[in-house]
Structure 1
Amino acid sequence: MRRTGSREEPLSFGRAYAHSQTFSELFQAGMQLVEETAAYLDGDGRAAASELNRPASIVYATESMRLTTRLMQLASWLLLHRAVNEGEMTLDQAAEEKHKIRLDQALTAMRGPGWDELPEGFKALIDRSVSLQKRVQMIDAALFDDGRATLEEAPSPVASQLAALQDAFEKRVG
């Protein structure tokens, strides 16, 4: 609970998370993965793909589309929450906009014929994107419950002592 004046309000997990160091690190890691993937697909990946046999070439094309789509959705989610963090929108507005973002797409890659021939760097990017997607899905589930979720903290002895000190200070100053 958060004390505002004389009343207590539930602590918004979404608001607290959007301003946290954890979110900042997730944002940086996600955007770095987007940049790495774009550089790979335009450079080393393009060269490696041209040398693949037909089955591997089809898997590469399919997985590169899935990878870029996944990363676009994740980047959209991250940018949405950065906007909340920077005060450009409220968590309620973000909840309304998040329905446009698809975090529920398949998490597994096509690991059939041709998969083993794919470049290791490409497979590593896929695995990292899937890991990021799982992490974002868990955070998203914690943030939103029918559009908005709050985390109510159980009262702790420290919190009650701090509240008592604050009350005593306010009585003495006031």
Structure 2
Amino acid sequence: MSNVYRVDGAPVGGATTVSFGERFQSSEQFDHIFKEGMSLVERTASYLDGPGRKEAKGLAGGVGVLYATESMRLTTRLLDLASWLLIRRALREGEITEEEARKKRRRVKLQAFGRPSHVKGYSELPSGLQNLIEESFQLHDRISQIDRILTSPSAAEAPEAAVNPVAHQVGLLQRAFAAKVS
């Protein structure tokens, strides 16, 4: 059995690792999520500066405080999501390196504050704000899931045994028997 290698350096017949991150960033799906995220940021700013401001003035006591609290949480969540999207786009466009993207990403907090729908008075908030909050959590959930995939150790970085222990053992056997036959 001879050692034959493909152009990319992997052994012929060996597994090829495809980077989800690279594929995702250059896909239409990323473009769609990017546009969706930026659109949500714009719609939220427009709502909070316009109709939301007028609606907030008519809210009584605790609901007014809840409106202020939830609008600030919404704004913070959207700024984090927009930062994540902009970092990924900059990486795709070659404006920053992978290492720079990792450093910048560490500063972005994709933590989800608890869903406010169970909070007393939430149902009294204007429907416009409620809708934006729900949309932001849906986008947050999708981006968080993608981020977990992108930041988990890739198969290319992990040792072969950690990726597929059976394939690792088969490879050891093949190399052992190939050495004796040669």
TM-score by length of 1: 0.78
Aligned length: 148
Aligned partner of 1:128: which letter? E
Instruction: Tell me whether 1:88 sits opposite 2:95 in the alignment.
Output: yes
Instruction: Identify the match of residue 103 of structure 1 among 107, 110, 122.
Output: 110
**Residue correspondence of structure 1 range 15-54 to structure 2 within 5 A:** 15-54=22-61
Provide the C-alpha distance between the structure 1 equivalents of 2:145 and 2:100, rounded to a whole number of angstroms: 20
Could you tell me which runs of 5 or more consecutive residues in structure 1 were left unpaired when the two chains were aligned.
Answer: 153-174
| Residues 91, 101 of structure 2: 8 Å contact kept | yes
- How far has the Cα of 1:24 moved from its partner? 0.5
Q: Which moved more, 1:71-80 or 1:83-92?
A: 83-92
Instruction: Identify the match of residue 121 of structure 1 among 125, 128, 142.
Output: 128
| Residues 73, 103 of structure 1: 8 Å contact kept | yes
Instruction: Tell me whether 1:5 sits opposite 2:10 in the alignment.
Output: no
**Residue correspondence of structure 1 range 69-84 to structure 2 within 5 A:** 69-84=76-91
Q: What residue in structure 2 maps to residue 58 of structure 1?
A: 65
Provide the C-alpha distance between the structure 2 equivalents of 1:35 and 1:64, rounded to a whole number of angstroms: 14
- How far has the Cα of 1:105 moved from its partner? 3.1
Larger relative contact order (C-alpha < 8 A, sep ≥ 6)?
A: 1
Identity %: 41
SS at match of 1:7: coil
Deviation track 1:79-101 (CA, whole Å, cap 9, x = no partner) reads 00000111112333312221100
| Residues 74, 136 of structure 1: 8 Å contact kept | yes
Q: Which moved more, 1:104-113 or 1:86-95?
A: 104-113
- CA-based RMSD of the aligned residues comes to 2.1
Change (3 A) 1:151 1:127: farther
Whichever of the two has the greater Rg, that structure is: 2
Could you tell me which runs of 5 or more consecutive residues in structure 2 were left unpaired when the two chains were aligned.
Answer: 11-15, 158-182
SS at match of 1:15: helix
